[in-house]
Amino acid sequence: MTIDRRDLFRAGGGLLAATAVGSLAPGTAQAAETAPVPLTTRNPLVEQRADPFITRPVNGMYYLTGSVPEYDRIVVRGAATLDGLATARETTIWRRPSSGKMGGHIWAPELHRIDGRWYVYFAAGDSDDVFRIRTYVLESTSDDPRAGTWVLRGQMVTKWDTFTLDSTTFEHRGKRYFAWAQSEPGIATNSNLYLAEMASPLALKGDPVRLAVPTLPWEIQGFKVNEGPAVLVRNGRVFMTYSASATDARYCMGLLTADERSDLLDPRSWTKSPQPVFTTNEATRQYGPGHNSFTVAEDGSDVLVYHARDYRDITGDPLYDPNRHTRVQRLYWNDDGTPSFGVPVGKGGPCVRLSPLDDPALHVRHYEYRLTADGNVRELADSQFRIVAGFRGAGTVALQSVNFPDRYVRVVDAATVRIDPYDESDAYGRAASFTQVPGLSDRLAVSFRLPGEPATYLAHDKGRILVFRPGAAVRDRQRVSFRLS
Q: How far apart are CA 351 and CA 42, in angstroms?
A: 10
Segment 64-74 shows an average pLDDT of 98
Long-range contacts from 377-385, C-beta under 8 angstroms, 24+ separation:
378/334, 378/340, 380/332, 380/340, 380/341, 380/342, 380/343, 381/342, 381/343, 381/345, 383/353, 383/354, 384/342, 384/345, 384/351, 384/352, 384/353, 385/351, 385/352, 385/353, 385/354, 385/409
Residues 209 and 244 in one domain: yes
Dump pLDDT digits (tens) for 78-117: 999 999 999 999 999 999 999 999 999 999 999 999 999 9
In sequence order, the 6+-apart residues with CB closer than 8 A to the CB of 400 are: 13, 14, 348, 385, 386, 387, 388, 407, 408
Residues 285 and 209 in one domain: yes
Would you list the DSSP string of 377-432?
A: -SSGGGG-EEEEE-SSSTT-EEEEESSSTTEEEEEEETTEEEEEE----HHHHHHT
Domain count for the chain: 2
Q: Is residue 42 part of a domain?
A: no
* Domain end among 284, 312, 340: 340
Residues 306 and 422 in one domain: no
The DSSP 8-state label assigned to residue 344 in this structure reads: -
Segment 314-331 shows an average pLDDT of 96
Q: Is residue 305 part of a domain?
A: yes
Residues 333 and 230 in one domain: yes
What pLDDT score was predicted for residue 394? 83
What pLDDT score was predicted for residue 452? 85
Q: How far apart are CA 382 and CA 340, in angstroms?
A: 12
Enumerate the active-site residues.
51, 227
Q: How far apart are CA 256 and CA 254, in angstroms?
A: 7
Distances (CA, A) of 313 to 50, 103, 249, 310, 347: 18, 30, 8, 10, 18
Q: What is the mean pLDDT of the chain?
A: 92
* Structural domain for 403, as ranges: 5-36+350-484
Dump pLDDT digits (tens) for 176-233: 999 999 999 999 999 999 999 999 999 999 999 999 999 999 999 999 999 999 999 9
At residue 15, does pLDDT exceed 80? Answer: no
Give the CATH number, domain containing residue 404.
2.80.10.50
Q: Is residue 124 part of a domain?
A: yes
Residues 245 and 362 in one domain: no
Higher pLDDT pick, 449 / 7? 449
* Domain end among 305, 340, 375: 340
At residue 24, does pLDDT exceed 70? Answer: no
Q: How far apart are CA 38 and CA 22, in angstroms?
A: 11
What pLDDT score was predicted for residue 42? 84
Residues 444 and 474 in one domain: yes
Long-range contacts from 7-13, C-beta under 8 angstroms, 24+ separation:
8/388, 8/389, 9/406, 9/422, 11/347, 12/285, 12/346, 12/347, 12/348, 12/405, 13/348, 13/388, 13/400, 13/405, 13/406, 13/408, 13/422
Q: Is residue 44 part of a domain?
A: no
The DSSP 8-state label assigned to residue 349 in this structure reads: S
Strand-pair category, 106-114 with 90-95: unpaired
Instruction: Write the single-letter amino acid at 390.
Output: G
What pLDDT score was predicted for residue 252? 98
Q: How far apart are CA 69 and CA 50, in angstroms?
A: 8
Residues 159 and 62 in one domain: yes
The model's confidence at residue 6, banded by pLDDT at 50, 70 and 90, is very low
Q: How far apart are CA 461 and CA 359, in angstroms?
A: 10
C-beta of residue 53 within 8 angstroms of C-beta of residue 293: yes
What pLDDT score was predicted for residue 39? 65
At residue 9, does pLDDT exceed 90? Answer: no
What pLDDT score was predicted for residue 40? 65
The model's confidence at residue 376, banded by pLDDT at 50, 70 and 90, is very high
Q: How far apart are CA 8 and CA 388, in angstroms?
A: 10
Higher pLDDT pick, 42 / 335? 335
At residue 37, does pLDDT exceed 80? Answer: no
Residues 15 and 128 in one domain: no
Please give the backbone phi and psi of residue 6, each rounded to the nearest 5 degrees, phi first: -65, -40
Residue 149 parent element (H or E): none
Q: Is residue 45 part of a domain?
A: no
Shortest CA distance to 330 belongs to which of 85, 48, 9, 45? 45
Q: How far apart are CA 227 and CA 168, in angstroms?
A: 11
Residues 331 and 475 in one domain: no
What pLDDT score was predicted for residue 11? 33
Give the CATH number, domain containing residue 279.
2.115.10.20
Q: Is residue 43 part of a domain?
A: no
pTM score: 0.91
Residue 274 parent element (H or E): none
Q: Is residue 309 part of a domain?
A: yes
Residues 191 and 310 in one domain: yes
Please give the backbone phi and psi of residue 365, each rounded to the nearest 5 degrees, phi first: -145, 170
How many CB atoms lie under 10 A from the CB of residue 316? 7
Residues 289 and 307 in one domain: yes
* Domain end among 313, 340, 367: 340
Q: Is residue 41 part of a domain?
A: no
Residues 459 and 366 in one domain: yes
Dump pLDDT digits (tens) for 138-154: 999 999 999 978 999 99
Segment 128-132 shows an average pLDDT of 97
